Amino acid sequence: MKRRLAIIILAAFALLASGAAAQAASASGDLNLSVTLGTGTRHGEAALVEIILLVTLLSVTPGLVLLMTSFTRVAVVFAILRQAIGIPNAPANQIITGFSLFLTLFIMSPVISKVNEDALGPYMRGRIDAGTALTKGMAPLRAFMLRNTRAKELEMFQRLAKAPDNARPEDAGTLALIPAFVTSELRAAFQIGFLIYIPFLVIDMVAASVLMSLGMMMMPPAVVSLPFKLLLFVLVDGWYLIVGSLVRSFNG
């Protein structure tokens, strides 16, 4: 791993150096710059492939990590709440995403502490190797996902992965557990979103009925119902209820 990181750093410096050399060449003659990856052609190609794979892995790692945490449920519920109120641009996407991230850190703090204690800390101190650290670090995440995954979804993905019929949930592979967990999170998020949507839908229906009874059919009902929905949300202390319910909805 250290060798691969060193290759990436050297490649980055090489790209920077090539850019600087190109600027210098344009000002004071021609300059040729070449970077050799390894002593042989096959070795250089392998090093280049390693760099591409590592850069690709680093680009998709944040998304994979977020899918293995509570971020999916929190972000979807907040998005549905914003649509239910009727103001799709407030709060802004940056606020929703940032709040979801910090709420995810709060919910996942016991898991993060366990990963740091069992895997990251010993690995940084050189007590265990990278493979052992990865295995121990995945254990708390797998336990969290198993607690919050429905047996129905997990059985479906185990069946699709052609696992034995008598396989236990704890024996499920990570590649089957992650999509099962995401599917369960989406289901839970839509259930919470449905319950959130009902009172706001009732206000929209009342506003539309009143406008039709008054003969004001050209008046958009959303314009009339929006202040009442905001008033209802403030009076019931909506953010307190929704955030508290989201945190309590996770099993550990």
C-alpha to C-alpha distances, 126 to 53, 100, 129, 131, nearest whole angstrom: 25, 34, 7, 12
* In the chain, where the domains are located: 1-12+40-67, 68-248
CB neighbours of residue 7 within 10 Å: 17
pLDDT given at position 78? 92
Q: Determine what percent of the chain is predicted with pLDDT higher than 70.
A: 76
Q: How far apart are CA 182 and CA 173, in angstroms?
A: 15
The DSSP letter of residue 91 is: S
pLDDT digits (tens, 9 = 90+) for 191-247: 999 999 898 888 888 888 888 887 777 777 777 888 888 888 889 888 999 999 888
Structure tokens at 126: 């050189």
pLDDT digits (tens, 9 = 90+) for 43-91: 555 666 767 766 776 677 777 778 888 899 999 999 999 888 888 787 8
pLDDT given at position 32? 52
Q: How far apart are CA 182 and CA 184, in angstroms?
A: 5
Buried-exposed string 81-120: b where 16+ CB fall within 10 A, e elsewhere: bbebbbeeeeeeeeebeebbeebbeebbeebbebbeebbe
Mean pLDDT of 150-179: 79
Angle (deg, nearest 10), helices 174-213 and 41-67: 50
pLDDT given at position 185? 92
Kindly tell me the sign of the dihedral angle through the C-alpha atoms of 178, 184, 187, 189. Answer: negative
